[in-house]
Structure 1
């Protein structure tokens, strides 16, 4: 009978139910079930349709007759009432930012249908409220300069609270911030500065680190805490600065395309963390403007998101390296499940590639599929 109400609340007109007698453990359970149905029929809540001939004593199906009587009989409240109460619980005392109007409306719409939003049903309003408060705090910048678990404890009163609702937090924030299209929630939060520990930044080039004369040892590459980027010293002007998304491509570039370390090559660790973004901003200010900056990522929506993120933070021209539609057409594949690219930026050097990726049969290409080559002056800055 609960199933009849569930289907009624989801929009089914005059729903029917068919008893599954094989699901009962024994005859006594069947008898109890039949008795409940007969009582509901006597109350006018449902109608029972029996079989014919030899099966005339057997209940074949049950139809919903009176919704309000069945609610009362089962001690259940209409979905609209439950959704309204859950909605009040979610928003009570919260000054909801205008940027969150779309996800809040989607939550209410899902609950009004008796469904769930991102796995949170009406009865989960308290947990979703925690996600809303965390998302609001992030939007207000209260996470800056605070590690992941300290932020969670300060806002939600529990150090692991954010881990439990990461997906919902990211979905709420996605209406206000441009986040990586296909990133896991933890990776998306990392780009905003929420991480347990900042991973090291890997560098290769003719550089020293404070008093350490690394240029004499010429290591293939070395790692530093991103916050220490200001301690990197150039021993000579690099021919270029190249940021690379993928670790395998980073290693291949160093050994195959630039074994003499004429450029400054930086591994950004996939989606660049907030600390890595700050380090790149530091390099952009310290390196002469004549040195061209490039970025090499996968040719897909996440790759263009990473490009645009770096482009915004360095505040100087950034050129795509091995990121062009002709390469995708030649070597790429049409994805099985396409992710819509981020909002187009007309003034971005990657805008034409973003437009290409919006096409119905656009191909994606992982950067590992390409052999590395060193950036050259005059390299196309736009997808062809």
Structure 2
């Protein structure tokens, strides 16, 4: 019906939405760690940038893991993410997820998890639901990451708590 009103009967939904100014643009993925986006002209995004880097999901095909991170830590709270990336430098890959991770975040994590050694801890710092589950589910990665909620979680929690970030 909307396609008819814009003079394009049978138009795809994305064409109609774009015509009325409602286009979907993915949010960038905020992170810090040993990753980079490489392009024809060299390094486009350096994951070790201070305080952190942002990668648009359209660039994920060019993502390079420079070295295995000491841990992969996803953080749900933006203030906690900002404190972590500014105050702790331990070789971890830290990814901001927000309350519910976007498709870009899931794609980035799936790509990283496919190439890093299985012994690299994968932790999530955020809301913990009944049974210690999280809102973060990465296809091909079972179970979901353990919630980093105590000072004992793989040493990461200890670093977080000792820095007064919690």
Q: Within 1, Cα distance between the matches of 2:140 and 2:84?
A: 22
Per the TM alignment, residue 265 of structure 1 is displaced from its structure 2 partner at its CA by 0.5
- Greater strand proportion: 2
Describe the shift of the 1:243–1:261 C-alpha distance in structure 2 as closer, same or farther (beyond 3 A): same
TM-score by length of 1: 0.31
Structure 2 unpaired stretches of 5+:
1-11, 159-166
Q: Within 2, Cα distance between the matches of 1:228 and 1:261?
A: 25
SS of the residue corresponding to residue 79 of structure 2 reads: helix
Q: Within 1, Cα distance between the matches of 2:70 and 2:76?
A: 20
Is 1:250 aligned with 2:68? no
Find the structure with the greater CA-based Rg: 1
Q: Within 2, Cα distance between the matches of 1:207 and 1:274?
A: 19
Indicate which of 117, 121, 131 corresponds to 1:292. Answer: 121
Structure 1 unpaired stretches of 5+:
1-145, 164-194, 324-372, 377-384
Aligned to 1:202: 30
Aligned to 1:268: 97
The structure whose RCO (Cα within 8 Å, separation 6+) is larger is: 2
SS of the residue corresponding to residue 306 of structure 1 reads: coil
Describe the shift of the 1:305–1:249 C-alpha distance in structure 2 as closer, same or farther (beyond 3 A): same
**Kept after mapping to 1: 8 A contact 2:35/2:65:** yes
Is 1:230 aligned with 2:57? no
**Kept after mapping to 1: 8 A contact 2:75/2:95:** yes
Aligned to 2:149: 322
Q: Within 1, Cα distance between the matches of 2:140 and 2:82?
A: 24
Q: Within 2, Cα distance between the matches of 1:251 and 1:264?
A: 13
Is 1:279 aligned with 2:108? yes
TM-score by length of 2: 0.65
Aligned length: 137
Describe the shift of the 1:254–1:275 C-alpha distance in structure 2 as closer, same or farther (beyond 3 A): closer
Q: Map of 1:295-306 to 2, 5 A cutoff?
A: 295-300=124-129, 304-306=133-135
Runs of 4+ in 1 over 3 A off after TM superposition: none
Q: Within 2, Cα distance between the matches of 1:229 and 1:274?
A: 11
